[in-house]
A and B are shown apart, each in its own frame.
Chain A
């Protein structure tokens, strides 16, 4: 019974907006714009109490004493939590599911390893009373010297992460004998996700059942963590997260503030809301780790690379481990016979860094894509040409064929639209009055991360359709593309599909991270919808009450909400009429993309850890998205201010399930890349080990005025090695390569090579 026909057109397919590949607008858009969309912490619950965190004011040492006397008697205060009074939790497994050490976990710290660590919390009848009482909690410390950042004399060389080592050939030897050699160090600072919606939650216990309303990129993973902390069955924890006001990697894990709120709710027997202040979002969880890289390239006089030696360092916290894979792009972007990449991590007194849009690939690309530009000038060839001369025809590291790599096409399409051939090669050769104009290019890539998902599709009595999944939509368009997938598969309008997400009671999904969700969930919905459709057709053919019963057909056609025989010689009824005639009020099917022999344990592991993620180099292929950015900057020769005046980016994300939404995500990534290149930096007071620009007036992200028109071009083709429907990752790709493209453009404009982000004006005057 095959009654469906998914079109596998090119990446710009889908003139029909309802279908997969169509430019349907975000179906959650009106609710968000009108304010009707209710975010997690906006739930109105009876008896709600408010928790406010107290944070450490030192970066290193011990809490000597916490004086809560004044806070406890402050008006409206219900409870003051300290490490001594908070209930004890169990340590939860990490996101790989590694069995945790059997020791208690306390979300409030006695040992201080960074400034801004949670040390106490106050719960009160109103938020304002909790804030006021929190200010009355007096914490005294025994302070010890902190390691402030990577450049701290006490920081040392750090820990070698052998798993990051990638080597082939004789990189050092080949470098030594190469006729052209370049060697440079590239640094990126701490950067922050800065989502519009700050982190926060409402926790409510009913007996040993916990409900948590919390913005989440991963309901099932976070539910598992809460369950393990409190020693209750996974099924007892319900996470609800209907809308998310931006995550960028920061909302994938249950964090200590969540544990505090859930403890408070349990101890108090009332639902508790805890929302971080904006300053707390800079220390309550990690942003992107600061990184340092050296890239040495040996080449022949034609610019053919002979050797790349790469060394990387990222910072991590004193007691947590974060590895930002700095060799990830270095090892695959260009072909080279000799290669060596190694990485260390250095412990500093900061919160453990975390995932932020394209962790690893982003800083990695800043290193290699700046270095190859330096090489281009060194040998005197065009920066675009040098990239083509060293084009990797297969994955140089995995030594496997690319599943698809439309990077050459991206370079060609981008260069054409941008007018790259009109570029004059000399730095400082293009100007407009006081404005020095520079054109830069850089490439980017992101691996296709894959996992499995499940979804439920329900056809209702009126012919409309419901889709349920515990996956989420943080603005990337899950609601919309899942409606399109169900609509196309079931032959209904997207308007007739209601997608329900963000509730861990729904069929399960893995993390929304690594740009994997769309590929995973369109596949799951496609499967569920297909089996619902098979059921529907099966009923129509076999049920004695069906008008098609007498037809003895072996298939039927479902389209436009109607069901008919393929040759049009029989009945033609609406799906609703058919369901009525066979006496059913709905049909439903759950579908998943798990391997057929998966056990319940496999499934649990897949949805609640990342251990089952499928490597992007599994099997015969190496799978990645690709992009090329062409960027024009204008640098004021007196003031050193850099303005991005033109961006043309060509991107290969395979088949686009909805080009309109993909384009928006690409543009969002490019905008974030502009911020990274020019503005964003967590500034540490070296005496106190504290971020001082911990608010949105001082930590600058781009405004509309900083963003020119951005042109994005899709050059992808369906890649069925990467996903069921042919798409590759979209969300993280586009930020990768933006910062080096801008730095390269700044060099072309000014003749100054800036290797430390962000490129602020004082670096250019």
Chain B
């Protein structure tokens, strides 16, 4: 048996110190980490259990926005009345993620840190080549089964899709990740694979996510998360979109628009080209459809995942239209 030590942190500082040691990993809900340890992907020497830390599970919502502690459970955030009313896309993204059992265990910090579902990444015994796991070893996915792989933000080193839902909504609404004192925009928190796909987040050893902050806005208030998949529940997105909209007083002209994509990119993907094409325009089906095609500008597919290039703009267009209808 791979022996490892288990530490239950009783303060934030203790947790950060313990986690700074080589081979140490934070354990929150465990729904990603234990799973990856079973696959032989994660091989922690020390598990630093933060699940019992006090005060990190708070959810506070006011005029300026929401702050959510890193240890808040997915299900609590999804069900929070003010999150539902002020940030519907956030609540909907969480509701459509994973299963009820997982949402009850999983934390917001752990959710941001979830790893790709690339099957090659998850099977080291059979597929030793994986640049994300073992820098420089190659990529087993390229040339293999790629139905679930990314079409945006990929590199020659890695085409793994970022599978989470929540972060897509966070990217759309310019959320900030709190790493204790250090605060960084969520869009910068997630890194493109480039030549270093093993480095997924702008987080340094000894740092820990303490919470997230989502600025309140009219577009966040009028927002939705649309997730498309073959199975009605408990499946990662084939393509998804977090969209928020704010109209001019005429109720037709788009003042502000937020669009982010999930299920198609190597990180939660902000589609600014779509936003810019539609801001100031009147919401018309043809205009929306044409602008939505910009969502997949620069996409590169590997055959089996080509459908994502077709699907993503349709998801964006539908989400925008839906928000337009619910005036």
Q: Tell me whether A416 is interfacial, beta carbon within 8 Å.
A: no
Chain A positions within 8 Å of B306 at CB level: 762
Q: Given A639-B315, A692-B144, are A700 and B1 also a contact pair (CB < 8 Å)?
A: no
Residues of A675-698 at the interface with B, using a CB-CB cut-off of 8 Å, are 678-679, 683-688, 690, 692-693, 697-698
Besides A639-B315, A765-B307, 10 more A-B contacts (Cβ < 8 Å) are A57-B125, A76-B1, A638-B318, A641-B230, A684-B145, A685-B144, A692-B145, A693-B145, A705-B232, A706-B231
Interface membership of A552, Cβ < 8 A: no
A241 at interface by CB-CB < 8 Å: no
Taking a contact as CB atoms under 8 Å apart, the answer to whether A638 and B125 are in contact is no
The CA-CA distance from A558 to B229 in the complex, in Å, is: 60
Residues of B within 8 A of A692 (CB): 119-120, 123, 144-145
Q: Which residues of B contact A690 (CB under 8 A)?
A: 126
Q: Nearest B residue to A759 by beta-carbon distance?
A: B230
The reply on A643 being an interface residue by CB < 8 A is: yes
Q: How far is the CB of B52 from chain A (nearest CB, A)?
A: 24
Which residues of the other chain, A, contact B228 by a CB distance below 8 angstroms?
636, 639, 641, 761
Contacts of A128 in B (CB 8 A): 1
In the bound complex, residues from chain A placing their C-beta under 8 Å from that of B1 are 75-76, 126, 128-129, 131-132
Chain A 354-398 near chain B by CB (<8 Å), digits 1 or 0: 000000000000000000000000000000000000000000000
In residues 1-37 of chain B, which contact A (Cβ within 8 Å)? Answer: 1-2
- Bound together, the chains give a CA A75 to CA B2 distance in angstroms of 10
Q: Which of A96-132 contact B (CB under 8 A)?
A: 115, 126, 128-129, 131-132
Q: Which residue of chain B is the closest to A693 with respect to CB atoms?
A: B119
Within 8 A of A (CB), among B301-327: 306-307, 310-311, 314-315, 317-318
User: B239 — nearest CB in chain A belongs to which residue?
Assistant: A639
**Interface flags, A622-665, vs B, CB<8A=1, else 0:** 00000000000000101111010000000000000000000000
Chain A residues with CB under 8 Å of B145's CB are 683-685, 692-693
Cβ contacts under 8 Å, A683 to chain B? 145, 147
Contact of A57 among B126, B147, B311 (CB under 8 A): B126
Instruction: Give chain A residues whose Cβ lies under 8 Å from the Cβ of B229.
Output: 641
Select which of B40, B144, B230, B315 is within 8 A of A135 by beta carbon.
B40
Whether the pair B117, A698 counts as a contact (CB closer than 8 A) is: yes
Which 9 A-B pairs have CB atoms at the shortest separation, nearest pair first?
A762-B307, A705-B232, A705-B233, A128-B1, A638-B314, A692-B119, A132-B1, A129-B1, A706-B232
Asked if B314 and A639 sit within 8 Å, CB to CB, the answer is: yes
Nearest chain A CB to B123 CB, angstrom units: 8
Known: A697-B117, A761-B311. A115 touches B126 (CB 8 A): yes
- Measured between alpha carbons, how far is A120 from B145 in the docked complex, in Å? 28
Nearest neighbor of A128 in chain B, beta-carbon distance: B1
Residues 729-765 of A, flagged 1 when their CB comes within 8 A of B and 0 if not, give 0000000000000000000000000000010111001
- A residues in contact with B230, CB < 8 Å: 641, 678-679, 700, 758, 760-761
Interface membership of A598, Cβ < 8 A: no
Residue pair B315, A698 in contact (C-beta under 8 Å): no
- Pick from B2, B231, B233, B238 the residue with the most CB of A within 10 Å: B231
Q: Please measure, in the bound complex, the distance between the C-alpha atom of A690 and the C-alpha atom of B163, giving whole angstroms.
A: 23
The complex places the Cα of A135 from the Cα of B2 at a distance, in Å, of 10
Minimum distance in angstroms from A673 CB to a CB of chain B: 15
B314 to chain A, nearest CB (A): 4
* Residue contact B125 to A135, C-beta cutoff 8 Å: yes
- Whole-angstrom CA separation of A434 from B120 in the bound complex: 36
Which residues of B (214-269) have their CB < 8 Å from a CB of A?
228-235, 238
Mind listing 26 A-B residue pairs with CB under 8 Å?
A: A57-B125, A126-B1, A129-B1, A132-B2, A434-B318, A638-B314, A638-B317, A639-B314, A641-B230, A679-B230, A679-B231, A683-B147, A684-B145, A686-B144, A688-B126, A688-B144, A692-B119, A692-B144, A693-B145, A698-B117, A698-B119, A700-B231, A703-B233, A760-B230, A761-B228, A762-B307
Task: Point out residues on A near B: beta carbons under 8 Å.
Answer: 57, 75-76, 115, 126, 128-129, 131-132, 135, 279, 434, 636, 638-641, 643, 678-679, 683-688, 690, 692-693, 697-698, 700, 702-706, 758, 760-762, 765
Return chain A residues, CB-CB under 8 Å to B298: none
- Report how far A429 CA is from B125 CA in the complex, Å: 51
Within 8 A of A (CB), among B81-121: 117, 119-120
Q: Are B234 and A703 in contact (CB under 8 A)?
A: yes
Q: Cα distance A279–B35 when bound, in Å?
A: 13
Chain B residue contacts of A758, Cβ below 8 A:
230
In the complex, the chain A residue whose C-beta lies closest to that of B233 is: A705
Closest residue on chain A to residue B3 by CB atoms: A75
Chain B residues with CB below 8 A from A693, complex form:
119, 145
B238 touches A761 (CB 8 A): yes
Cα distance, A698 to B143, chains bound together (Å): 19
Instruction: A639 to B230: give the CA distance in the assembly, Å.
Output: 10
Q: Are A639 and B120 in contact (CB under 8 A)?
A: no
How many angstroms between the C-alpha atoms of A126 and B235 in the bound complex? 34
Residues of B within 8 A of A279 (CB): 123
Tell which of A636, A690, A703, A762 has the most Cβ of chain B within 10 Å. A762
Nearest-Cβ distance from residue B319 to partner chain A, whole angstroms: 11
Contact in complex: B231, A765 (CB < 8 Å): no
What separation, in Å, do the CA atoms of A101 and B145 have in the docked complex? 40
Chain A nearest Cβ from B324, distance in angstroms: 14
How far apart are the CA atoms of A363 and B123 in the complex, in Å? 31
Q: How far is the CA of A112 from the CA of B1 in the complex (A)?
A: 28
Which of B127, B235, B315 sits near A700, CB closer than 8 Å? B235
Complex Cα gap A434–B317 (Å): 13
Pair A761/B307 contact, Cβ less than 8 Å: yes
Which residues of the other chain, A, contact B2 by a CB distance below 8 angstroms? 132
- With a cutoff of 8 Å between Cβ atoms, the chain A residues found around residue B315 in the complex are 639
